Structure 1
Amino acid sequence: MPIPGNPLGYTLVYAIESPRGPVLVDAGWNHPDAWLALRDGLGSAGMDVRDVRGVVVTHFHPDHAGLAGQVREESGAWIAMHEADAALVGLMNELQDREHRSFHADMLKRAGADAVEVEEVTAHRPRPPAPPDRELRDGDLVDLPGRELRVIWTPGHTPGHVCLHLRDADRLFTGDHVLPGITPHVGVYPYDRVDVDPLGDFLLSLEKVAELGALETLPAHEWTFPGSAERAMEIHAHHEEKLLSLAALLAEEREPLTIWEIAGRMTWNRPWADLSPQMRGMAAGEAAAHLRTLEVRGVISRTAGSDPVRFALRPESLSP
């Protein structure tokens, strides 16, 4: 299903058959073109969108949860997502645009972004997804008559991201957790939080998926592929290398750096100067996640009382 104006291009939405109607894994972006693609795609498989029994959302992001509300309106289907993401969706729907903008502007200032960058990054707010009817937990079985679809909680990309193991067909729906050619965004929001470690959670979640063995993998982007375990550990190794590179970057600096300065010095898929304002905001979130994991591991520390917050390598980390 298309994601207009987004470099990802499309979301893969899956329909799992059951005697009481199909259950969708994700629902795609909230856009008329995506809705037509969903309706026609189901039709080509001999299904009707009005017969959809439920939508399991792997996580709350708009390219996955965006159309879930319209599917519910059309068919009366239930929407299910993990309780951690459900809580975020509730908060997003409560926040007014002004409050949301203020929250993000304050976060960016504390990270070291200047006034122009703050204005550019906070200019657009996606529409919040529809609240779910059902909340999922790790190990739950999805309401899919005649089949066994088990929830595998894989936090990291979002706090409530889930993979879904269709055990009767030996398939694993991975959402954004394990993708064949790219890696999902893992960020900290607000950037300077000290009570969470999303990248640490993500690395543990990759190990959890690897322990399931080599399953046929059905991701939300790119293409399906065999060997979920091998790819999960490739992504794990990628982030460990990125953590080493970040520590080396900080070792070369004489003074502590802000999150925004660090993000600007890190390597991305294109130069920092060429990133859009929204992509810079996401890059800063990912930089913050890697900084937080290094902090949890005792490799770096934040400068006490600094505003904006600054990070430096711990002196003992320089020892051979």
Structure 2
Amino acid sequence: MDRIRLGNDEFEGRNNAYVLAEDGGDGLALVDTGLATPDVREDLRDGLAERGYDFADVDDIVLTHFHVDHAGLAGEIQAASDATVYVHEADAPLVEGDADAYDAIERRRRDLLERWGVPEESRAELAEFMELAEHLEGEPADATPIEGGTVLEVGGRTLETIHAPGHAAGHCCFEICDASGTHREGGAVAGSGGEAFVGDALLPVYTPNVGGADVRIDRPLERYYETLERLAEREYDRVWPGHREPIAEPTARAREIIAHHRERSEKILEILREHGPADAWTVSDHLFGDLEGIHIVHGPGEAYAHLDHLEHEGVLDVDDGIYRLVDAGAEADAIGVSENRR
């Protein structure tokens, strides 16, 4: 797979932009674009130039989700090329720079930070970070909304859209269909093999943040479990993530991430057994320690995603943001989050 590696000091490590070019044809597509910073812009321009292209030559942009390290340069490239920008319908207003959509997220984030028990000084630090990070958003793009099951013909490839929420409400993976254009409508098929672009749904080193990275999602951990199961069941031979190196055993990696979250749920139960009822910020402090920058929302957001899941499983009770054990003997394996969860 032809990829351009892009700088990224803010989030999960170096980003990938994938170049899809039609053999003997004019079609050129990008899967994700990277941050709207001078260094990343230069990385992407240089990578395209090495292949004989410029921003003006891009016909289609396929975005895995709205986060700025994946979508930041989409609007600028579209302005230079009139490229079509595809993104899930849930994330399309954000890619388009819709002020109401961003305001709704900010209101939701403020409400949750208060509910999670985040101290005022940490909330102020986060607000300052978010304001300073606005330059990373880039120019708005005119988005073409897609949904799970949408089939795209871009860069000489056929891609089937797989809605994969958890890290973001509109996160999508894109299965690369075979030479005949075969795709499977109606959902996952076990043992399919093949390859896919997976954005941040599967990462080779880190696990993507769930709960704080997109505060719009109800039951974020459950949604992410469903995504991991969907990807595992497809039994891909290899997948192409939004950061770092390709994943050669994606089913094993999906199971490993499920096991990681099972262990985190058990750790949270241990924290509540030892220290008593707590809010998400306190649990986050036990898990991650001191936080700064974007992690001020990511840390308690991750804790909340687990606490929320445990509450819905009947293991915890919550009152005014304080979670307490219902059954002190409950274990994560007994509440539907084992590594072999189906």
Length-normalised TM-score, structure 2: 0.81
Q: 2:55 aligns with which of 49, 56, 76?
A: 49
Is residue 108 from structure 1 mapped to residue 98 from structure 2 by the alignment? no
What amino acid sits opposite 1:282 in the alignment? Answer: H
Is 1:133 matched with 2:118?
no
Conservation of the 8 A alpha-carbon contact between 1:57 and 1:81 = yes
| 1:279 alignment partner AA | H
Distance 1:93 1:75 in 2: 25
Give yes or no for contact 2:96–2:143 (8 Å, CA) kept in 1.
no
- Residues 89 and 36 of structure 1: is their aligned pair in 2 closer, same or farther, counting only changes over 3 Å? closer
Query: Displacement of 1:103 after TM fit?
Result: 5.4
Q: 1:208 to 1:132 in 2, by over 3 A?
A: farther
Moved more, 101-110 or 12-21: 101-110
* 8 Å Cα contact 2:17/2:32 also seen in 1: yes
Residue 188 of structure 2: aligned partner:
none
Rate the CA distance shift 1:5–1:211 in 2: closer, same or farther, 3 A. closer
Code of the aligned partner of 2:280:
I
Q: Deviations over 1:152-209 (max 9, x none)?
A: 1111010111111112273211101111121111115897x9x811111111111111
Aligned counterpart for 2:128 among listed residues 123, 128, 131: 123
Corresponding residue to 2:268 among 225, 229, 246: 246
The answer to whether the aligner puts 1:186 opposite 2:198 as a matched pair is: no
Could you tell me which of 232, 257, 279 is aligned with 2:278?
Answer: 257
Q: Which of 66, 73, 78 matches 1:67?
A: 73
Aligned residues: 307
Q: Residue 2 of structure 1 contacts residue 9 of structure 1 at CA under 8 Å; is this kept in 2?
A: no
Where do 5+ consecutive residues of structure 1 fail to align?
A: none
Is 1:8 aligned to 2:16, yes or no? no
Number of the residue aligned with 2:337: none
Structure 1 match to 2:312: 296
Preserved contact between residue 81 and residue 132 of structure 1 (Cα < 8 Å): no
Instruction: Pick which of 151-160 and 109-118 moved more.
Output: 109-118
Provide the C-alpha distance between the structure 2 equivalents of 1:315 and 1:186, rounded to a whole number of angstroms. 25
In the alignment, structure 1 residue 156 sits paired with structure 2 residue 166:
yes
Is 1:174 matched with 2:198? yes
Is the partner of 2:304 in helix, strand or coil?
helix
Q: Deviations over 1:82-128 (max 9, x none)?
A: 1122245568533688x876654443222212221121111132434
Aligned to 2:152: 142
AA in 2 matched with 1:65: A
Matched residue, 2:325: 313
Give 3-state SS (helix, strand or coil) of 2:294's partner.
Answer: helix
Q: CA, structure 1 residues 146+11, in 2 after alignment: closer, same or farther (shift >3 Å)? A: closer
Q: Structure 1 CA distance, aligned partners of 2:102 and 2:173?
A: 31
Q: 1:204 aligns with which of 200, 203, 226?
A: 226
Q: Secondary structure at the match of 1:58?
A: coil
Shift of 1:263: 0.8
Once residues 105 and 225 of structure 2 are traced to their aligned partners in structure 1, the CA distance between those partners, rounded to angstroms, is 29
Partner-residue secondary structure (3-state), 2:154: coil
- Structure 1 residues 189 and 282: CA distance shift in structure 2, 3 A: closer
Aligned partners of 1:311 and 1:166: how far apart in 2?
A: 43
Identity across aligned pairs (percent)? 33
Superposed displacement of residue 146, structure 1? 4.2
**Equivalent position amino acid for 1:311 in 2:** Y
Q: How far is the alpha carbon of 1:143 from its aligned partner?
A: 3.2
Letter in 2 for 1:17: A
Per-residue CA distance 1:268-306 (angstroms, 9 max, x = gap): 3xxx13x32431221011111111111121111102xx3
SS in 2 for 1:149: strand
Q: Deviations over 1:19-53 (max 9, x none)?
A: 33211100100011111111110121233321111
